[in-house]
Structure 1
Amino acid sequence: MLILSRWEIFFRNIQQDLKLYVFILGLLCILRVGFIAILYSYINAQSTISDILISLFYGLRISLKSAAVVALFSFVFSTLLCSLLRSQKFEKIRMVLGSIYVTLLITLFHARIPFYQEFHTGFNQMIFNTLNDDIVALFYTLVADYNLPVLLISTAVISYIFCRILTKILATGTFTAPRFSQGYQKMMFRLGVVVIVFLFMVFTRFGGSLTYAHSLHWENATVSKDDFLNEAIIDDIQALNRAYGIQKRVSEGTGIKVDAGKIRIYGAQLKGSALTTNEVDEVFSKHAEGARIPKPKHIFVIIGESFAQWPLREEYSSLHIADGVKGIIARENAIHIPAFVPNGAFTPMAVTAVVSGLSDVSLYPNYHPESYKGLYSTAIAPQMRKLGYKTNFWYGGASSWERIKAFTLAQGFDNFYGMGDFVSKSGNVWGSDDRYLFDAIAASLDSDVPTLNVILTVSNHAPYSVDLAQEGFNESQVIAALPADGKEDKDLIKRLGHYWYTDQQIAKFVLKMQEQYPDSLFVITGDHADRTNISKTPTTFDRYTIPLLLYGKGINKQIIPQNVAGSHINIAPTLIELIAPLGFEYYAEGKSLTRGSDIGFSHNVWITPNAIGKIQGEAAESFTGGVETGVDRASVQQSVEAMRALAWWRIEKGKMIK
């Protein structure tokens, strides 16, 4: 009996792993085709064969990851054990793993059909609510309405057939490891095999790419305009991964758990009088003091990705990475509010705050069921519609990211446009380069239809793939302005270059639109800061603040009081107070800057017109970093607690205080 070396056993077994991988990948593709074929009536009438083929291609790419799951287990528990212990008995593990995975995929496929018919989506976080449901009623429904016995029989038969096919495939022969007369040849061959295995793992990990810049995952894989085809792209393993990821985020939301009595106290504190109803919205109700500017034809709220405040400060002017927006600030019909912080540490918190008008309380409104039951009274879109505006949300990335399309439409936006809805010649895993996003917005406008356009850019984000040289970035100028320890920091220079690119694109767009539509109003801010700083120890102000800029016809340096502060939840009330007629009723958690809002806060910092500090800390800091003593810390804490408690109640408990 020929005794094989560990290398020969390893070489044979990785071929078996590859067979298993290709078989599972093929099965996933077959199931995807089956899903589309069975539920073809859900395909949008405007979709074409090309759209279906694109969904199949992207589905193939993302399923590379799903097939790799079982292949990895096979590699660890079969290939490595067989090779290390020089025993063939561990090869049986591969077949067991493959059979379990096949049965799982077939079972999930059968469950997915009725799930989609019921919820018009693939598996999502709703599956985690099953244990809280009436199990008996659920079982009865499955039997009566979805022919559970037939589904179980079909699952068993199809699983058996594919397991038998897998058995026969794994029983086919493999190539023997070549033998070499020279030691270096043997070494080179083995090294080559190891490198190929490693590259294969990277390729599958990134969903058909060797780099993160072009990787594919469930958040950016849904490239079709057809919601059904987008769900077809996401196979059941990736859908479960999506469900788990979303549920984890929601479950980690600690919020502020208070009772109805405390909410009444907080509500009265913010309202300035006792509540007369059992509705939270009474606290948010306000009446406009009268328009301060002529009603603009178009309103643009631009949320720049990682568009921090510090590059706008004079001490960093030699970098010349914020000259575009700074040039707008210098104009007479512009005002810059420096005491401004984001709603949270990440982009979704900025989106939820601007869209819903509610502050961050770790509840993820974009995933929370309450956001899909009806409109929040504080939501910006329905209130701007009452003022005569068609509302559009523009995003440079995929519409499936953080449920951004579903959330914005659920909260009243008339239209959502994301990557795939406009032509883009360059971009990365997160979306289109900003240039093409702004071009699409400019081309969409109608001079006869007033619009509110909320715009979220993506380019100033890792993996930082914009061709800066082609865009005209003066790298040497930036390097010359950097301190000694930053001149060789290529990553920092690239990050600064992408900030420059975002600044340039925002400024070009604003000036172009202002020229075409002189009566437009522009709001420029960022989604968050705290990503890039020149200093290793930035002040709290430089680390966390983002700019807020208002620009347009009727705006002047005095239209907002000097001593104001705010955050994303102050944007909607400020816009409304600028343009709404006297007495117009609106709803907002935050206070309009025109009415002297004197506090802003995020998940971890607060800001006043002259100081900034950590919510969990005691110290107050001046904007330049020194200790600030003239702050009523208790009052700040009380205001933050009250607003966050009310936001938490509205999202978690609903409208009624009971």
Structure 2
Amino acid sequence: MMLSMPAGPKRFSWKNLYTGILEGLKVFAFYLAVLSLFRIFFIFWMSSYMGAGVGSHDILKAIWRGTRLSMQTAGALTFVSFVPGFVLHYVWPRWERKCVLALNGVLLLALSIFYVASFPFYRQFHANFNQMLFTGANDDLYALFVTMVQQYDLPVRLAGAIVLALGLLWLLRAFLKWDFLENLFDSVHMPRLVRWLGRLAFLYFTYIVVLLGIFGGSLGWQTAVNWENAGVTKDDFLNEAILDNVQAIYRAYNLNERMLACNGLDFTTDDIRVLAAKLANKPADTDDLDVYLTKEAQGAQVEKPKQVIVIISESFANWPLLDKYKDIPISHGMRSLIAEDDTDYCPTFLPNGASTVSAVTGVVTGFADANLYLTTMPESFKEPYPTASAPQMQKLGYDTNFWYAGPSTWERIGAFTQAQGFEHFYSRGDFGDVPGSVWGCEDEVLYEKVLAGLDADTPSFDVILNASNHSPYDLDLDAKGFDRESVREALTEGHQQDEELLKELGHYWYADRELAKFVKEVKEKCPDSLIVIVGDHADRYNIDKTPTTYERYGIPFIITGKGIHKGTLLKDSAGSQIDIMPTIYELIAPRGFSYMSIGSSLTRTNRQGVNYGFFITRQAIGKADTVPLVPESLDGGAAPEIDQQAMEDYINGVRSVSWWRPKYGPMLDETKLENR
């Protein structure tokens, strides 16, 4: 009896070539079908996020555009599994099918995990995967893990993703075994000429598919679809749904790389000089940026306070303070405070960025969010920037303290704030065994510690960053006294059974209540105090699933204390977090006091704000990167007019100076850009 020998390498033949290419085409078709079905189900399941007026034509356009874009994704995934399989087909054929299935199993598992995760991600950020993925990579990973387990049911979602991946792998295996096309051009009954014409047609068809896979549903780069030009509908949700999860992650990666390389901003030194001069209303006659940043206070507007306190409140959006939501009982504390005679309020204010760390850097350094991650840059730890708040408040005679509810290691916040001049830093590690979430102690605990640290006779500048209004939203709201049913009754019928929304609103209620209580206690203990309240960002949850730009991104700016009155702020004031410290300087500093800032005071001149993506005035808000700028009304009425050139100069001035000064220093020198 003869032993059968293991199959050796196969010789090149049309049959082997055809079989290998056909298997690759099958894999391509399978991935394209999966990505397309994923998209269709996502649109169906999340349809409540579509804006008013979206019709079937818009949905079909999004599906078609997305299918074209997913041809590129399917092509990339096919390439990853096809090339090893095609090589093994000739070198080691017995392992070919196992290798193909193993590689595709890994790819399908990754796709399934991304897809399952995309639903809660969109609910949280109103976007497909974006740069927050990489911002999170610099965050507290343990806290992120606990949040995903507690709020987003990570074990259940992961199990679901695994089951989905196994089901898809079974379908792929069955599809690859389906051999109805394997002998299409090798029938003995087919004339030789027909067979060869068929083979040529098959190769040409394969060539077309390859082009579609390379160029995103097009035959050339001129008409290629990619993540940058994919959004062609009028609806933000559908534009995000056009991107499959792989393309969305690729977008996030590209944007993050641009940020890290600092090449997302394209300004020459001549541009920056002119823009800085316009920002400062000075002649463009020097290459020293610090000349343009230097200002003189016009004279104190209130008696110099003993304590200056800036509270950066986690996810403290402005929309609950709007009149249209006044019947929802979650913002009584701030509404009552705003009504007090010693309080003024600007409702048109923007966060510095999309995350908490941007708010911190805005207040601590005075720089706008401009494609730099300041808490990780070596330059941030050499010495305080000249625009930094702590050293300038020290010049005015204040001790400087930073209070954070969470750990000092988060975003290197302890080392960063002290490197930028804060004399004292306090975090959860200094508070002992106190209640809270993985992100930090409860607000009432933090405020209690701060209150104990205040001395009515010792001038101090205190920045406070709380954390309770943050996912996983695990406060025991019932124990805190939250009247869930009153809030439920105030909601529209479609939201009354949304328990997750009620939990989120309950955390806003808690943050609002504790903030109002703290302000009252500070005024009692330190009556000569000035207190500023802002949110770190908004854009986490809204009652309206398709909120206006204003409701989605706006945060409050509230200033209260001795000497403050209605009209302290300009009646048409607007701003962003880089304007907080200039407002304080102009309120309390004596005439002629020299300070440095990019922003300006809401009590003197500031009537516009700008951040990483938007601009705002008292009448309008809009995206900062469109040409021309397209203002939207704050109240849904007719779009107001803006001075296009002045706003563009302001946007570019803030960004260019905030980009150059922290990385390259005060002198505008073109040679510094040669190696960037």
Structure 1 residues 386 and 211 mapped into 2: Cα distance closer, same or farther (>3 Å)? same
Q: Which amino acid aligns with 2:513?
A: Q
Structure 1 equivalent of residue 522 of structure 2: 513
* Counterpart among 479, 496, 514 of residue 470 in structure 1: 479
Q: Distance in 1 between matches of 2:668 and 2:532?
A: 34
Residues 537-591 of structure 1 deviation map (CA, whole Å, 9 limit, x = unaligned): 1111111100000000000112222011100000000001100001000011001
Structure 1 equivalent of residue 375 of structure 2: 366
Q: Given the alignment of the two structures, is residue 432 of structure 1 paired with residue 441 of structure 2, yes or no? A: yes
> 3-state SS of the aligned residue for 2:397?
coil
Contact 2:260 2:371 in 1 (8 A): no
> 3-state SS of the aligned residue for 1:370?
helix
Q: Distance in 2 between matches of 1:249 and 1:606?
A: 22
Q: Distance in 2 between matches of 1:476 and 1:487?
A: 9
Structure 2 equivalent of residue 638 of structure 1: 649
* Counterpart among 550, 563, 566 of residue 554 in structure 1: 563
Question: Which range moved further: 330-339 or 534-543?
Answer: 534-543
How far residue 250 of structure 1 moved from its aligned partner, in angstroms, is 5.6
> 3-state SS of the aligned residue for 1:547?
strand
Structure 2 equivalent of residue 535 of structure 1: 544
**Residue pairs, 1:49-88, within 5 angstroms:** none
How far residue 414 of structure 1 moved from its aligned partner, in angstroms, is 0.6
Q: Distance in 1 between matches of 2:383 and 2:561?
A: 33
Contact 2:151 2:471 in 1 (8 A): no
Structure 2 equivalent of residue 28 of structure 1: none
Structure 1 residues 249 and 643 mapped into 2: Cα distance closer, same or farther (>3 Å)? closer
The number of equivalent residue pairs is 433
How far residue 596 of structure 1 moved from its aligned partner, in angstroms, is 2.2
Contact 2:401 2:462 in 1 (8 A): yes
How far residue 318 of structure 1 moved from its aligned partner, in angstroms, is 1.2
* Counterpart among 631, 636, 639 of residue 628 in structure 1: 639
**Residue pairs, 1:186-197, within 5 angstroms:** none
Structure 1 residues 396 and 252 mapped into 2: Cα distance closer, same or farther (>3 Å)? farther
Q: Distance in 2 between matches of 1:591 and 1:640?
A: 14
Structure 1 residues 443 and 626 mapped into 2: Cα distance closer, same or farther (>3 Å)? same
**Residue pairs, 1:471-486, within 5 angstroms:** 471-486=480-495
How far residue 655 of structure 1 moved from its aligned partner, in angstroms, is 1.6
Contact 1:254 1:363 in 2 (8 A): no
Residues 597-651 of structure 1 deviation map (CA, whole Å, 9 limit, x = unaligned): 0110111110012111111233211111233232123321221011110110102
Question: Which range moved further: 496-505 or 275-284?
Answer: 275-284
Structure 1 residues 284 and 210 mapped into 2: Cα distance closer, same or farther (>3 Å)? closer
Q: Distance in 1 between matches of 2:319 and 2:145?
A: 34
* Counterpart among 645, 663, 670 of residue 652 in structure 1: 663
Contact 1:394 1:453 in 2 (8 A): yes
How far residue 430 of structure 1 moved from its aligned partner, in angstroms, is 0.7
Q: Distance in 2 between matches of 1:281 and 1:206?
A: 43
Structure 1 residues 439 and 249 mapped into 2: Cα distance closer, same or farther (>3 Å)? farther
> 3-state SS of the aligned residue for 1:595?
coil
Q: Which amino acid aligns with 1:655?
A: P
Structure 2 equivalent of residue 308 of structure 1: 317
Residues 360-390 of structure 1 deviation map (CA, whole Å, 9 limit, x = unaligned): 1020111112211221111110000000100
> 3-state SS of the aligned residue for 1:273?
coil
Contact 2:369 2:612 in 1 (8 A): yes
Structure 1 residues 210 and 268 mapped into 2: Cα distance closer, same or farther (>3 Å)? closer
> 3-state SS of the aligned residue for 1:477?
helix
Contact 1:212 1:429 in 2 (8 A): no
Q: Given the alignment of the two structures, is residue 376 of structure 1 paired with residue 376 of structure 2, yes or no? A: no
Q: Distance in 1 between matches of 2:453 and 2:426?
A: 11
Contact 1:340 1:600 in 2 (8 A): yes
Q: Distance in 2 between matches of 1:213 and 1:431?
A: 19
Structure 1 residues 424 and 556 mapped into 2: Cα distance closer, same or farther (>3 Å)? farther
Q: Distance in 2 between matches of 1:581 and 1:367?
A: 35
Unpaired segments of 5 or more residues in structure 2?
A: 1-93, 95-133, 135-140, 155-252, 670-676
Structure 2 equivalent of residue 268 of structure 1: 277
Using the size of structure 1 for normalisation, the TM-score is 0.63
Using the size of structure 2 for normalisation, the TM-score is 0.61
Contact 2:353 2:369 in 1 (8 A): yes
Structure 2 equivalent of residue 336 of structure 1: 345
Structure 1 equivalent of residue 97 of structure 2: none
Structure 1 residues 348 and 437 mapped into 2: Cα distance closer, same or farther (>3 Å)? same
How far residue 248 of structure 1 moved from its aligned partner, in angstroms, is 6.6
Contact 1:433 1:459 in 2 (8 A): yes
Structure 2 equivalent of residue 461 of structure 1: 470
Residues 455-488 of structure 1 deviation map (CA, whole Å, 9 limit, x = unaligned): 1110101000111111111100110011111111
Q: Distance in 2 between matches of 1:369 and 1:556?
A: 42
Contact 1:255 1:648 in 2 (8 A): no
> 3-state SS of the aligned residue for 2:566?
coil
Q: Distance in 2 between matches of 1:481 and 1:625?
A: 22
How far residue 440 of structure 1 moved from its aligned partner, in angstroms, is 0.4
**Residue pairs, 1:109-258, within 5 angstroms:** 206=145, 211=150, 251=260, 254-258=263-267
Unpaired segments of 5 or more residues in structure 1?
A: 1-84, 86-124, 126-201, 216-243
Q: Which amino acid aligns with 2:640?
A: T
> 3-state SS of the aligned residue for 1:510?
helix
Contact 1:249 1:364 in 2 (8 A): no
Q: Distance in 2 between matches of 1:371 and 1:203?
A: 26
Q: Distance in 2 between matches of 1:432 and 1:552?
A: 26
RMSD over aligned CA atoms reads 2.8
How far residue 213 of structure 1 moved from its aligned partner, in angstroms, is 9.6
Q: Distance in 2 between matches of 1:369 and 1:613?
A: 34
Q: Distance in 2 between matches of 1:600 and 1:402?
A: 26
How far residue 263 of structure 1 moved from its aligned partner, in angstroms, is 1.6
Q: Which amino acid aligns with 2:388?
A: A
Q: Given the alignment of the two structures, is residue 296 of structure 1 paired with residue 305 of structure 2, yes or no? A: yes
**Residue pairs, 1:407-418, within 5 angstroms:** 407-418=416-427
Q: Distance in 2 between matches of 1:325 and 1:287?
A: 33
> 3-state SS of the aligned residue for 2:646?
helix
Structure 1 residues 277 and 445 mapped into 2: Cα distance closer, same or farther (>3 Å)? same
Contact 2:345 2:569 in 1 (8 A): no
Contact 1:301 1:454 in 2 (8 A): yes
How far residue 203 of structure 1 moved from its aligned partner, in angstroms, is 11
Contact 2:390 2:420 in 1 (8 A): yes
Q: Distance in 2 between matches of 1:653 and 1:535?
A: 43
